[in-house]
């Protein structure tokens, strides 16, 4: 299954005077950090709400510094479930956006459209990320049942078993 994942990022921006300036700089800064490796991630202005439900601008400015809410969207291919897609997206984006808080906003399953050629290229990256994440989970003491079958064989080969 393929999923569209939306991740919220809180991007700090310095020496700004207006929310529009902060948003432009945050989008540019985020694009530089993601490219060229993750050029398929779409960057959009985020939305914020006050506790009473009122719409707020995506940038909060204090003392010429801003915190800008951005939404980063990416498609994750060949996943088993939505949780799997969100972990892959968070890992891929998080590796490039060091020290920027991320939160999964939504995961939406996409309809199959039969475009297998484009999926193969991007799915290789996500499969590698998933294997790395599975290795980290195994090191943390999680069950080996969560590992991918190919990765289990690699672990057995390396450990001599």
Which has the closest alpha carbon to 150: 132, 160, 43? 132
Count of domains in the chain?
A: 1
Which residues lie below 8 Å from residue 81, measured CB to CB, with a gap of 6+?
Answer: 1
pTM exceeds cut of 0.85: no
Q: pLDDT-based confidence at 110, cuts 50/70/90? A: confident
Cα-Cα-Cα-Cα torsion 124, 126, 110, 43, nearest 10 degrees, comes to: -120
- 3-state SS class at 42: strand
Per-residue pLDDT of 25-38, as tens digits, reads: 999 999 999 988 88
Q: Are 40 and 75 within 8 A, CB to CB?
A: yes
Tell me which residue has tokens 């994440």: 133
Per-residue pLDDT of 41-96, as tens digits, reads: 999 998 888 899 898 889 999 999 999 999 999 999 999 999 999 999 999 999 99
The Cα–Cα gap between 5 and 16 comes to 30
Q: Domain range spanning residue 137?
A: 2-159
Q: Is 140 a residue whose pLDDT tops 50?
A: no
Q: What is the pLDDT of residue 160?
A: 57
């Amino acid at each position: 299954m393929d999923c569209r994942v939306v991740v919220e990022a809180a991007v700090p921006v310095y020496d700004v005077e207006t929310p529009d300036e902060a948003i432009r700089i945050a989008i540019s800064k985020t694009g530089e950090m993601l490219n060229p490796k993750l050029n398929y991630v779409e960057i959009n202005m985020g939305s914020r709400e006050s506790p009473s439900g009122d719409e707020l601008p995506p940038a909060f400015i204090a003392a010429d510094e801003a915190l800008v809410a951005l939404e980063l969207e990416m498609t994750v291919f060949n996943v088993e479930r939505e949780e799997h897609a969100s972990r892959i997206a968070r890992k891929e984006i998080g590796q490039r956006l060091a020290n920027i808080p991320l939160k999964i906003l939504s995961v939406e399953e996409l309809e199959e459209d039969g475009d297998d050629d484009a999926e193969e290229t991007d799915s290789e990256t996500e499969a590698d990320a998933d294997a790395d994440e599975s290795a980290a989970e195994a090191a943390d003491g999680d069950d080996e049942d969560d590992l991918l079958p190919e990765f289990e064989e690699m672990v057995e080969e390396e450990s001599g078993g």
